[in-house]
């Protein structure tokens, strides 16, 4: 049983693509492993979809006014699209990482993200994923059987998603699928008996990116 879940606010933000990539991958991977959160996510998506795509409020901009002017453009677009053939479904194959003679199948959310090299020190191995944003760092962390990490605090927030195996610290025992957020006030010294693979985001950007279009403005001006 998975005992540690992302907060609802994180799930809601994930459903609307409002989280930075490193965090949204963590929430997506958790939901793949956790039927409870998956179900909640699907309900939220149904609700948000209905709000976004069927509420009359969302099409009241200038769409009525330019309907006639754009008629030709739209019909060209429709003709172009309908000239395309159907696309077939490519079967999903999970990415596999190998470390310390073990193979791990990764959740789909990690697809194409895990082709980098491990750096190993004793029983601890880390693979940086190329999805860092601002000051946050995302990696896969592997602790081999019998390994531990000396007690440490966190300069900032740390998010850990346990992907396989188990580990314990002063607070809890964790198992695959657990989604753990520790802030800078928590010190801990995790250790594992059988070994574990985690996805970690240090200085986890738990803030949401609601103002994303504001952020885009300067870039937008530069490009356009």
Partner 1 sequence: MPELQTYRRQNRYDNNSKLLSGRSMDKDNQPVPHEHLEKMIALVANQRDKQAFGVLFKFFMPKIRSFGMQKLGHQGLAMDLVQETMQNIWTKSHLYNGDKGAVTTWVYTIMRNRCFDMLRKIQHNREDTFGDDIWPIFESDESIDTQQDNDPLMSNLLMQHLEQLPLAQRQVVKGIYLQELSQQELAEKLNIPLGTVKSRLRLGLEKLKSFLEKHHD
The reply to whether 185 sits near partner 1 by the rule CB under 8 A is: no
For Cα atoms 131, 132, 135, give the angle at the middle one, nearest 5 degrees.
165
Judged by CB under 8 A, the residue of 1, 69, 90, 218 near partner 1 is 90
| CB burial readout 175-192, b (16+ within 10 A) else e | bbbbbbbbeeebebebeb
The reply to whether 183 sits near partner 1 by the rule CB under 8 A is: no
Tell the smallest beta-carbon distance from residue 134 to partner 1 (Å). 11
Cβ proximity to partner 1, 65 vs 122, nearer residue: 65
Judged by CB under 8 A, the residue of 16, 39, 71, 189 near partner 1 is 16
Among positions 32-61, residues that touch partner 1 (CB under 8 A) are: 42, 45-46, 48-50, 52-54, 56, 58-59, 61
Stretch that binds partner 1, among 63-71, 161-169, 184-192, 193-201 (CB under 8 A): 63-71
Secondary structure letter of residue 133 according to DSSP: B
Which of 133, 127, 179 is CA-nearest to residue 158? 179
The reply to whether 207 sits near partner 1 by the rule CB under 8 A is: no
The reply to whether 117 sits near partner 1 by the rule CB under 8 A is: no
- Distance, C-alpha 165 to centroid of its chain: 20
- Cβ–Cβ under 8 Å, residues 187 and 151: yes
């Amino acid at each position: 049983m998975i005992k540690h879940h992302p907060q609802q606010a994180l799930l809601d933000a994930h459903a609307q693509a409002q989280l930075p990539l490193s965090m949204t991958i963590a929430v997506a991977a958790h939901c793949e492993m956790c039927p409870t959160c998956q179900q909640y996510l699907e309900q939220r998506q149904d609700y948000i979809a209905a709000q976004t795509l069927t509420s009359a409020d969302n099409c009241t901009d200038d769409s009525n006014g330019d309907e006639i002017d754009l008629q030709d453009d739209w019909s060209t677009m429709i003709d172009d699209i309908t000239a395309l053939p159907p696309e077939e479904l490519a079967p999903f194959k999970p990415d596999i990482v190998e470390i310390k003679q073990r193979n791990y199948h990764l959740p789909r959310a990690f697809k194409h993200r895990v082709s980098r090299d491990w750096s190993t020190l004793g029983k601890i191995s880390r693979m940086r994923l190329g999805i860092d944003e601002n000051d946050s760092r995302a990696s896969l962390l592997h602790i081999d059987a019998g390994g531990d990490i000396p007690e440490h605090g966190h300069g900032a927030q740390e998010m850990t998603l346990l992907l396989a195996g188990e580990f314990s610290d002063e607070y809890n025992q964790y198992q695959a699928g657990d989604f753990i957020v520790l802030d800078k006030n928590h010190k801990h010294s995790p250790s594992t008996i059988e070994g574990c693979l985690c996805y970690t985001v240090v200085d986890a950007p738990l803030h949401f990116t609601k103002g994303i279009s504001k952020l885009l403005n300067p870039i937008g001006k530069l490009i356009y």
